[in-house]
Structure 1
Amino acid sequence: MKTETYNYMGFWSRFGATVIDTILLCLATYPLLILIYGWEYFDLNQTRFIAGPADFFITWIVPLVAILAFWMQKQATPGKMVIHAKIVDAKTGEKPILKQWIIRYIGYFVGAIPLGLGYFWVAFDARKQGWHDKMAGTIVVHTRDDRQAEHDGGQNGFQL
């Protein structure tokens, strides 16, 4: 792998992509949760973690399947596509395998546990890897050469 050919995505770009993905996920899941459980679902005084089987499916399974499907098909979620990023194997630059995708997804929870430190790690890491990237052996890179895009009006990207 030629590290000098990669332009790693930094913290703020990835944060923006996460915001986009979160909004889209909420737009897809909240109406279903409201339809099934009503507005009481969002009552902060409730002590239950999962409201029922539909809640578990909509809140945990749907996001898992959607994110893995996007990663496996596009190597990116919609938010990463907006910022022209994709996830690649850190050693080869190729498309990660299913095992890496699953480890990366689990790594999201690991990185969130200590006050989100695993996500903030992206800001300080030389290869802009969060803990989930390190666990899975992935990196997030630009999908186009911004210098070339400026020169040709954004028409030609580059392939990794």
Structure 2
Amino acid sequence: MINNYYLIENNEQVGPFSHTELMERGLSPAEMVLSPLTNEWNSASNLPELHEYFTLQGIYLPTNANAANFWWRLLAYIIDYVVIILVVAALAVFLGFFEAYTGAHTDMLFDDRNDFAFKLVLVISFMLYHAIFEATRAQGSIGKIICQLKVVDMDGRRISFRKALGRNLAKILSSILCGIGYLLIFWNDRHQGLHDQMAKTYVIRKKN
């Protein structure tokens, strides 16, 4: 029967279960399942008929079909860059009004002598911005939210702040040598950049 699914529990085969009974058990992506559609054992994450179930649980399993390509990721990056520029511009305007009303000198923050420090703070802020958003339920920055992109681990789950921070620090390596680490997104089946591969993460596009 098409509903004859089997599981491995305590090193023993249990079942059969219908498709509905299988989902009611609360499957994990790594659980081994014998599907009547393939007649062989697979992890639950590899069975297409269970992908919708996992999506409803907030688990977005990375596949070749839902992997976000380079252009979607570039668009999200551009949106984030614009957001950061607007925030910096708003800060500059605020400091200008603050200086006008108080007489305090704030221009030293943008002094050429502090240019390196300012850029360093900007880079760190950009990394933290991405890491914090990726570790939240949104699973991505403002740009990724708009483009319906999510950062997930190998099991399709939300990543921790520690993994998100490591992923964004690894972007430094992706950026060197003319951004070759980012260009890997073109050649990888699941569009992973070097930093994705190092952090064992994926960027998927959630389609309506």
Q: TM (normalized to structure 2)?
A: 0.57
After TM superposition, which residue ranges in structure 1, 4 or more long, deviate above 6 angstroms? none
**Equivalent residue number for residue 152 of structure 1:** none
Change (3 A) 1:28 1:57: farther
**Equivalent residue number for residue 188 of structure 2:** 125
Unaligned runs of 5+ in 1: 150-160
Q: CA RMSD in A?
A: 2.7
Aligned residue pairs total 137
Deviations 1:52-108 (A, max 9, x none): xxx36751443233222211112111111111110100x211111233212111111
Q: Report if the CA contact (8 A) 1:86-1:143 is conserved.
A: yes
Of structures 1 and 2, the one with the larger relative CO (CA 8 A, separation 6+) is 1
Matched, 1:108 2:171: yes
Give the alignment partner of residue 79 of structure 2, picking from 20, 31, 43.
20
Mean Cα deviation higher: 108-117 or 56-65:
56-65
Please give the secondary structure, in 2, of the residue aligned with 1:87: strand
% identical equivalent positions? 25
Give me the whole-angstrom Cα distance separating, in 2, the residues matched to 1:98 and 1:18.
19
Q: Report if the CA contact (8 A) 1:108-1:132 is conserved.
A: yes
Q: Of Structure 1 and Structure 2, which has the larger fraction of its residues in helix?
A: 1
Unaligned runs of 5+ in 2: 1-44, 52-62, 96-105
Give me the whole-angstrom Cα distance separating, in 2, the residues matched to 1:15 and 1:56.
22
Matched, 1:95 2:139: no
Displacement of 1:47 after TM fit? 7.7
Matched, 1:78 2:154: no
Q: TM (normalized to structure 1)?
A: 0.72
Give me the whole-angstrom Cα distance separating, in 1, the residues matched to 2:156 and 2:84.
28
Matched, 1:37 2:100: no
